[in-house]
């Protein structure tokens, strides 16, 4: 299994920390955000890790030269456009089942183990969703068709059942179709985000299933408040990310 980590954005909601630094290198509890993501996918046995940078790419490149992981680092020079263009940089390097992740989400190791226990059952493209966390205006929301499949995914939903946590699994059997849809959407909309691929597949009556995270703790670092809250949790709650 491969991993694709999207780390190209400007991190504008953390502007005091990202004026001259990519978001991937912002520190949380003395560790860079990308270090958490790399440790997570490594714990799942990903034998190929693709990282797509953009904003302050050279600084990310320098930082990753000092890791112990085998990484293919790519540059998205169109990082001010939609996140789908970061994905398009990565997809030519993907030839097997893969996990797509955002660098500003911090996942516990137990989530990786839960996924590995079920991976062989997942024959469809699968989005990881959370039923526990309160959702806000800027969160990616999910409306379910039934207990396992998504009907709609969008930040603009007013009626929803869960929140998307920034991670998608694409089995090898669906890889060619996923790549085709990604290219189509990028050609139509320069502001497209990777989640638009899921909605396009759903519109074509192709199932997108969910991996529920009820009871699993994770962190998002989208803005200063998120960072402060994550720092507080990791300071006082031991083994939070185990």
| Domain residue extents for the chain | 2-236
Residue 220 pLDDT greater than 80, yes or no: yes
Residue 221 pLDDT greater than 80, yes or no: yes
Neighbours of 191 (CB within 10 A): 11
> HSE on the CB side for 37, CA within 13 Å?
30
- Could you give the CA distance from residue 130 to residue 173 in angstroms, rounded to a whole number? 26
- Could you give the CA distance from residue 223 to residue 230 in angstroms, rounded to a whole number? 11
The model's pLDDT over 33-45, given as tens digits with 9 standing for 90+, comes to: 999 999 999 999 9
- Could you give the CA distance from residue 214 to residue 165 in angstroms, rounded to a whole number? 12
226: confidence class by pLDDT, cuts 50, 70, 90: very high
Query: What is the topology classification, in CATH, of domain 2-236?
Result: Spore Coat Polysaccharide Biosynthesis Protein SpsA; Chain A (3.90.550)
198: confidence class by pLDDT, cuts 50, 70, 90: very high
**Contact (Cβ atoms closer than 8 angstroms) between residue 236 and residue 26:** no
- Could you give the CA distance from residue 53 to residue 60 in angstroms, rounded to a whole number? 7
pLDDT at 93: 98
Helix pair 57-64, 33-43: axis angle to 10 deg: 50
Beta strands at 141-144 and 150-154: parallel, antiparallel or unpaired:
antiparallel
84: confidence class by pLDDT, cuts 50, 70, 90: very high
Instruction: Look up residue 145 and give its two tokens.
Output: 């068709």
pLDDT at 146: 82
- Could you give the CA distance from residue 98 to residue 79 in angstroms, rounded to a whole number? 22
The model's pLDDT over 163-184, given as tens digits with 9 standing for 90+, comes to: 999 999 999 999 999 999 999 9
Residue 147 pLDDT greater than 80, yes or no: no
Mean pLDDT on 90-115: 96
47: confidence class by pLDDT, cuts 50, 70, 90: confident
pLDDT at 67: 86
Instruction: Look up residue 238 and give its two tokens.
Output: 């031991």
Residue 148 pLDDT greater than 90, yes or no: no
The model's pLDDT over 149-162, given as tens digits with 9 standing for 90+, comes to: 999 999 999 999 99
Question: Percentage of the chain with pLDDT > 90?
Answer: 92
Q: Which of these, 80, 90, 106, lies nearest to 222 by C-alpha position? A: 106
- The 3-class secondary structure across the chain, one letter per residue, is CEEEEEECCCCHHHHHHHCCCCHHHCEECCEEHHHHHHHHHHHCCCCEEEEEEECEHHHHHHHHCCCCCCEEEEECCCCCCCCHHHHHHHHHHCCCCEEEEECCEECCHHHHHHHHHHHHHCCCEEEEEECCCCCCCCCCEEEECCCCEEEEEECCCCCCCEEEEEEEEECHHHHHHHHHHHHHHHHHCCCCCCHHHHHHHHHCCCCEEEEECCCCCCEECCCHHHHHHHHHHHHHCCCCCC
């Amino acid at each position: 299994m491969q991993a694709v980590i999207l780390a190209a954005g400007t991190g504008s909601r953390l502007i005091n920390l990202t004026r001259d630094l990519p978001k991937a290198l912002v520190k949380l509890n003395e560790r860079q955000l990308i270090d958490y993501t790399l440790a997570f996918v490594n714990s799942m046995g990903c034998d190929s890790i693709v990282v797509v940078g953009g904003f302050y790419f050279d600084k990310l490149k320098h930082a990753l030269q000092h890791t112990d992981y085998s990484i293919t680092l790519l540059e998205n020079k169109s990082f001010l456009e939609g996140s789908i263009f970061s994905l398009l940089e990565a997809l030519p390097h993907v030839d097997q089942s893969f996990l797509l992740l955002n660098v500003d989400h911090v996942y516990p190791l137990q989530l990786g183990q839960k996924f590995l226990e079920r991976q062989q059952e997942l024959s469809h493209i699968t989005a990881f969703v959370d039923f526990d966390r309160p959702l806000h205006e800027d969160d990616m929301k999910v409306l379910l068709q039934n207990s396992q499949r998504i009907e709609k995914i969008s930040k603009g939903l007013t009626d929803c059942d869960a929140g998307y946590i920034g991670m998608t699994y694409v089995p090898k059997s669906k890889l060619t179709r996923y790549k085709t849809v990604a290219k189509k959407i990028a050609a139509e909309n320069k502001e497209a985000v990777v989640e638009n691929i899921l909605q396009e597949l759903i519109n074509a009556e192709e199932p997108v299933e969910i991996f529920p995270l009820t009871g699993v703790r994770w962190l998002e670092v989208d803005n200063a408040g998120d960072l402060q809250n994550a720092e507080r949790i990791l300071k006082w709650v031991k083994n939070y990310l185990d």
